[in-house]
Amino acid sequence: MKKIILISIVCSFLLVGCWDERLFKDITIVPLIAYDGKQGSWTGYFTHAVVAKPDSISFSTIQGSGVSIEDTRLDANRKTGELLDPSQVLVVLLTTEAAKTNPIETFDIAYRMPRTRLSGRLVVVEGDLAQYHKKTENMGKELPDYYEANLKTAELDSVIPDINIQSAARLLLDEGIDLQLPYMKMSEATGTPGVEGVALFSDKVFSGHTLNAKESTIIQILKKKPGKSAMFTYKWKKEDKDYPVTVTQNKVKKKWVITGNSIHATYKMKFSVNEFAFDHLDKERSRKELEDFLSKELTKDFNDVVKKLQEAKSDPVGFGRTVRAFHPQLWKKGKWQDTFAELEINVKVEAEITRTGILN
Amino acid sequence: MDDVKSNDSLILYIQNLFHDSADLIVRKISWKDGDGIVCFLSTMTESSEVNKQIEILRLRSIAELPNWAGTATSSVEAFSVPKLIKTVTNGFVAIFFPATNLLLTITIPSFEVRSTTEPNNEIVIRGAHEGFVESIDKNISLIRKHLLISDLVVKDVKLGEDTNTKVTYVFIESIADKDVVNEVKSRLENIDRTKIYSIGQIEDYLEDSLWSPFPQFLNTERPDRAVANLLEGKIVLFTDQSPSALIAPVNFFSFYETPDDFNGRVIVSSFFRMLRIFSFVIAVFLPAYYIAVVGFHSEVLPYDLSMKVKTAVEFIPYRPIVEALIVELFIEVIREATIRLPAPIGPTIGIVGGLVIGDAIVNAGLVSNLMVVVVAMTAISSFVVPSVEMNTTIRIIRFPFMLAATLFGFFGIAIGTIILFIHLMNRSSLSQPYLSPVVPFDPSRFKNIFFRIPYFKNHKQQQTFTHGTGRRKRRGRN
């Protein structure tokens, strides 16, 4: 009797546990997902890995529709061999229409289930989704790798912010700051998608306004969160000749003066000169001249960007956070996005050249 | 004539005692007052030396020295048959004087003793290249050579009625913990078995918990290792005719120290010490981790790596545990076979087994190449530990972990790790805690696990592992 009990205990160990087993060879990796639709009716495009023969991997895209994004996956699952597993997702594409639904509600499953890869990127794309799943010759890599590499480069160049699925939720839940997501567009010349700038969110949903690459870079500097490098190029006129000047931002100091109905922001920026064919930067006078020029141009551009933000009623810079913390009477005026749009915001940029390259 | 007759019958009687062994030599010699009977085993005694010794003793007896029989190699006592047998079987020369009923014993044994070569299973790069041999006297002398102090105590216990094996324990009186010495003594005396011939048997009797996979005695054939341990207050046990010494009380981390550490430079030795601890983790957990990842938690893989793993596992017909067992058992079989193989063909079989079959098994699609990488890394890591017993232990305990991983994934590994640590914490070596500098925590010695501390730093003399309060003492107090 004792022996039978012992054997059944040992055997029971062999039975338990298997219910949460998911053999890796029975699931398929989905590194790229695209969603279109609105609340209640979604279409999902799942780009998943197909291993047809040993040591060779290819990707194919499958479409599914349903009432939620999880429902689209279940629908698409019925059309694939192996289980679609979004736990390795690199990039999630959203159409401009899909972005008009609060992502927190859309991606409830992602935040709720422990398997989701929260470091995947969220991207808003322009136009029809079908064109974003075509691999072209000039991509060089597989489709998901191309998106990841493209976004990574844009992030290093300060065009897009370092925002993933996880930090998107943090920004969406914060009333003092708005979400900005990378915005991608099909290039008409090459037929490949590329980063255009950022898509601005206003009060948890896409505002419909987007910024181009230069404007997006300015946002990252306004936030004081640039990537590895942030570069600006301007045309400098001298003696009826155009000299392009490219500068890299080295250091930035910001100062915000917030009063009852206005914000005066001063940005002291230090630049290194990458390109300046006119030269003579070793002379105090020409350097001063260039600094003044840059200050003027940048101030103009920065103010233009802030105007656009106010138009979009979107505050991705996070002025609202400071206002909320130190200026409650301004914060309590109403919804921050509305207050922000009405505020008088002046940005002043003071440029300083600290490095001139090895020429002088 | 009576005398002659009785002496002849005595010779016959002694020959009968040894069942007419061919190597038994029983001769009559004439002595000062009456004949004596010389008796010894020619295979264990140097015959020409016997003549010399007898001549010296004869001269001494003729000179009528008061204690003529007592020299450095000889002694005299009253005759009895068991004494005679013991003397002869030990390889001594017995001379019996029927007239005075005395037994003269001359100690000139000559056994074939291997020269002190470096042990094959504990090779060091820097340090002494001598090893223990199959003679207890030589082994003790190898230790005494290092420790020229009177504090070095050598104690004998005779075990086994049939084999009469001499078990010797050595310790340094001023350093060794008295309780531990008494513990060894009482445990040795409590062994009641008629046949004791190997150190492994002694280990069975002395171990605190026999059914633990972890060895509680450090087995070494290196005198320098034994001496270093003696100086830490440990006890070294020998049996005659065995080149291995048992060292106790040891803790888990003792098995990860090698004489190379103490002969090498500080930074280098510290690095390798950390590497060895790390290799323990690899050897025990890596296959289990891989099985858990492939079977349960593929989401922990970074994207790029996951694609590689995916292509590797896609066409494998078996579940990960079966796949792992195939390769693990295969490697264990190769290892076991190469021990038995004669030296000239050993490496050949290793290459055929490891490379040819390993490559073929992957090409045939029976196991994935990643599994071969994992298991090979594990196998190599398990051989990093400088102790043979710990090595075998590590190779065994990875199997329960693999089973736990295949049943419950990471959760199973976590549960297994908890059980492993609870087990280790509860173990003891001669009643001293096994996981010592960690549990009970001793910060001053804790860093010794990972670093080889420079010699000029003041070391606290280590006596026991528990700040002077042994386990038993604490039990008694509670």
Report which residue type is found at A125: V
In this prediction, residue B475 carries a pLDDT of 41
Torsion of CA B395, B400, B406, B410, to 10 degrees: -90
The two beta strands, B235-239 and B165-172, are antiparallel
Give B316's contacts in chain A (Cβ within 8 Å). 25
Q: Are residues A137 and A263 in the same domain?
A: no
Report which residue type is found at B26: V
Q: Are residues A187 and A310 in the same domain?
A: no
pLDDT tens digits, residue range B209-260?
A: 889 999 999 999 999 889 988 988 899 999 888 899 999 888 899 898 888 8
A250 domain-assigned:
yes
Last residue of a domain, one of A179, A194, A222: A222
Confirm if A232 and A262 have CB atoms less than 8 A apart. no
Q: How many angstroms separate the CA of residue A26 from the nearest CA in chain B?
A: 8
In this prediction, residue A139 carries a pLDDT of 85
The answer, yes or no, to whether residue B470 has pLDDT greater than 50, is no
A202 domain-assigned:
yes
A7 domain-assigned:
no
In this prediction, residue B447 carries a pLDDT of 85
Q: Are residues A198 and A288 in the same domain?
A: no
Q: Are residues A247 and A341 in the same domain?
A: yes
B64: alpha, beta or left, given left = phi > 0 and alpha = psi -120 to 50? left
The C-alpha atoms of residue A126 and residue A175 are separated, in whole angstroms, by 27
Which residues are CB-contacts of B400 (< 8 A; sequence separation ≥ 6)? Answer: B416
Q: Are residues A244 and A330 in the same domain?
A: yes
The C-alpha atoms of residue B439 and residue B419 are separated, in whole angstroms, by 15
Residue with tokens 């029975």: A26
Last residue of a domain, one of A154, A188, A222: A222
A41 domain-assigned:
yes
The CATH number covering residue A280 comes to 3.30.300.210
The C-alpha atoms of residue A90 and residue B422 are separated, in whole angstroms, by 41
- B64 φ, ψ (degrees, to nearest 5): 55, 45
ipTM for the whole complex: 0.85
Torsion of CA A116, A122, A128, A129, to 10 degrees: -30
Chains A, B: CB contacts within 8 A come to 68
CB nearest A31 (choices: B293, B294, B303): B303
Of B425, B421, B433, which Cα lies nearest the Cα of B468? B433
Q: How many Cβ atoms from other residues are within 10 Å of residue A185's Cβ? A: 16
Query: Residue A339 is inside which H or E element, if any?
Result: helix A336-342
CB nearest B314 (choices: A20, A25, A148): A25
Angle between helices B2-17 and B81-89 (to 10 degrees): 60
DSSP-derived 3-state class of residue B293: helix
Residues 310-349 of B with CB under 8 A from A: 310-311, 313-316, 319-320
Binning pLDDT at 50, 70 and 90, where does residue A158 land?
A: very high
The answer, yes or no, to whether residue B20 has pLDDT greater than 70, is yes
Domain count, chain A: 2
pLDDT tens digits, residue range B37-55?
A: 888 888 888 888 888 888 8
Mean pLDDT of chain B: 86
In this prediction, residue A270 carries a pLDDT of 94
CB nearest A87 (choices: B293, B299, B310): B299
DSSP-derived 3-state class of residue B84: helix
In this prediction, residue B476 carries a pLDDT of 39
The answer, yes or no, to whether residue B459 has pLDDT greater than 90, is no
A122 domain-assigned:
yes
**B409 in contact with A, Cβ within 8 Å:** yes
Give B319's contacts in chain A (Cβ within 8 Å). 23
> What average pLDDT does this structure show over A134-138?
84
Residue in chain B closest to A116 (alpha carbons) equals B299
pLDDT tens digits, residue range A303-337?
A: 999 999 999 999 999 999 999 999 999 999 889 99
- Report how far apart, in Å, the C-alpha atoms of A293 and of each of A243, A307, A360, B46, B364 are: 12, 21, 20, 108, 70
The C-alpha atoms of residue A220 and residue A224 are separated, in whole angstroms, by 6
Provide the domain limits for residue A346: 230-360
Q: Are residues A210 and A256 in the same domain?
A: no
Structure-block tokens of residue A260 = 């009852």
Range of weakest confidence among A182-196, B111-125, B269-283, B448-462: B448-462
In this prediction, residue B458 carries a pLDDT of 66
A12 domain-assigned:
no
The C-alpha atoms of residue A108 and residue A99 are separated, in whole angstroms, by 14
In this predicted model, which residue has the larger pLDDT, A99 or B34? A99
In this prediction, residue A9 carries a pLDDT of 78
Mean pLDDT of chain A: 90
> Given an 8 Å threshold on Cβ–Cβ distance, is A29 in contact with B303?
yes
The C-alpha atoms of residue B90 and residue B262 are separated, in whole angstroms, by 39
Furthest C-alpha separation in chain A: 105
Last residue of a domain, one of A163, A187, A222: A222
Q: Are residues A198 and A234 in the same domain?
A: no
pLDDT tens digits, residue range A171-207?
A: 999 999 999 999 999 988 888 999 999 999 998 999 9
Q: Are residues A73 and A140 in the same domain?
A: yes
Which residues are CB-contacts of B180 (< 8 A; sequence separation ≥ 6)? Answer: B233, B235, B248, B249, B430, B431, B432, B464, B470
The C-alpha atoms of residue B210 and residue B222 are separated, in whole angstroms, by 25
**A329 in contact with B, Cβ within 8 Å:** no
- B165 φ, ψ (degrees, to nearest 5): -80, 140
A4 domain-assigned:
no
Looking at residue A139, the DSSP 8-state letter turns out to be G
Q: Are residues A174 and A312 in the same domain?
A: no
The C-alpha atoms of residue A28 and residue A46 are separated, in whole angstroms, by 11
Q: Are residues A199 and A274 in the same domain?
A: no
In this prediction, residue B117 carries a pLDDT of 86
CB nearest A90 (choices: B303, B310, B315): B303
Which strands sit side by side in the sheet containing A121-125, from one edge to the other? A56-66, A41-53, A32-38, A91-95, A121-125, A180-186, A193-202, A205-212
Give strand pairing partners of B97: B102
Structure-block tokens of residue B296 = 């349960």
CB nearest B311 (choices: A23, A57, A115): A57
Q: Are residues A218 and A264 in the same domain?
A: no
Give B309's contacts in chain A (Cβ within 8 Å). 24
Q: Are residues A190 and A306 in the same domain?
A: no
Report whether the peptide linkage leading into residue B440 is cis, meaning its omega lies within 30 degrees of zero. yes
Looking at residue A345, the DSSP 8-state letter turns out to be E
In this prediction, residue B460 carries a pLDDT of 65
Give A16's contacts in chain B (Cβ within 8 Å). 407-408
Structure-block tokens of residue B253 = 């981390």
Structure-block tokens of residue A154 = 């844009």
A5 domain-assigned:
no
In this prediction, residue B477 carries a pLDDT of 38
